[in-house]
Chains A and B, each alone.
Chain A
């Protein structure tokens, strides 16, 4: 069990913490860096999520403030007991002209893991939200296959009160068999979704550049004004990072948190 809350406010050009709470296995660190952006690093001291665990993360970037969030290590969805499900619920709020970068490291799905995860974002139209969610299918180094898993990974973004984007990745049962299929993952061992919700001219300005950075197994689209979305698949998490880092560096408009440096 764990809960964490981070809130920021702008103090002139500087972003400062306005609230911070954490309990259970979740902690938040704030490495020193660019004072205009506050970087918070979540640490799950339990090392992962197992069936029955429940993590709750909340963050709010106040008007004109800029908050970057990442995780200290890859999250692990451990093997779960039958009928038990690990839950991670994240709620992010972006006020007027705020910026929030949600840049967690990979989530590794172990064989027989059961994870239900939700990311709910509520943002002002003038705000800027960048997201990446990398997933790794099994512990490749151990040659692990996802013979059984139950993943439900949902993202919902509300902008100015109306639903802008929804996605829910679902894998059930013999995921490896499914992931081998050509319309699904073509045998990929890792995948990421990348999303930028930003004022229309800015989102559009990245389209060509991000397209040029896509591998054969990745695509990007300006789904509607102010909404850029990419899916990238790769044989493993290392290759995935090689594709992701230039994309995220471009969209982040600044150096990535140190947790993203290879």
Chain B
């Protein structure tokens, strides 16, 4: 016989069952357990969890639990909780994978994602070929909107960052060049660095954070809302309808942004040159013009076109492969930005090495 009394509500401490357990495990625990709850003043779910535990203990030790003394509401709720038996296999068990198994799955995952990426690039290429034949299905208005969003709307931030990068380059260069009295070469330094690679990289990184993330989040949300499925079942390829205009838009806008970024960087250099190093404006201008060549310009343009396609590809790939939850959208957005920036740096390294081999 157990007497229960007082408040059994959440916030109260409930007694442990260890003593009872010890008693039940003793050689002669008795046949049945009677509960008397006449002194219980208040109860809620906490009381129920206590009783469930008690019940489990009793069944374990094959002792009949007499529930008659419980309040009628408690009895009904207990019956309700037991009405639907636990579904077999529904409870997840924590299985620890062996080390080798983990290595194996990880390897397979990586292999899978590589194959997936190659497949995606292939699909995009096919869609692009279809576009060249004038057969791709997408809306011109979508392309225009993307061009506006990725191009014109990005000008303020690209201006700011590139101007500052130009300033920084000029400052750092000036300190060293001043030692030799060769301040004028600040103009060459800024012009060549910005034009060959820095302008494109700056624009690329800004776009990875700004547009790559936007693409991934947009497409990811469309995936969550079944909008991508709705296109697919209509026989419209999501690659053509959603991915192609985005890659095209950013691929077209990025070279322009790159050139713009070069221009802003040179202005930044000019500010340092004229106001800090007291160089003549025309002198600085002439030095800039003589030091850059068309080759540099083309290399820079090539960089930014490649970056544009890479950032857009990364954003779209991650977005299209998004899972169906809010968390998945966050993950793919992060992956798109990180992947975009990594691919920009790797591409720069490859292009630089190639240029070295060719000798330009």
A and B: bona fide binding partners? no
Residue ranges of A at the interface with B (Cβ–Cβ < 8 Å): none
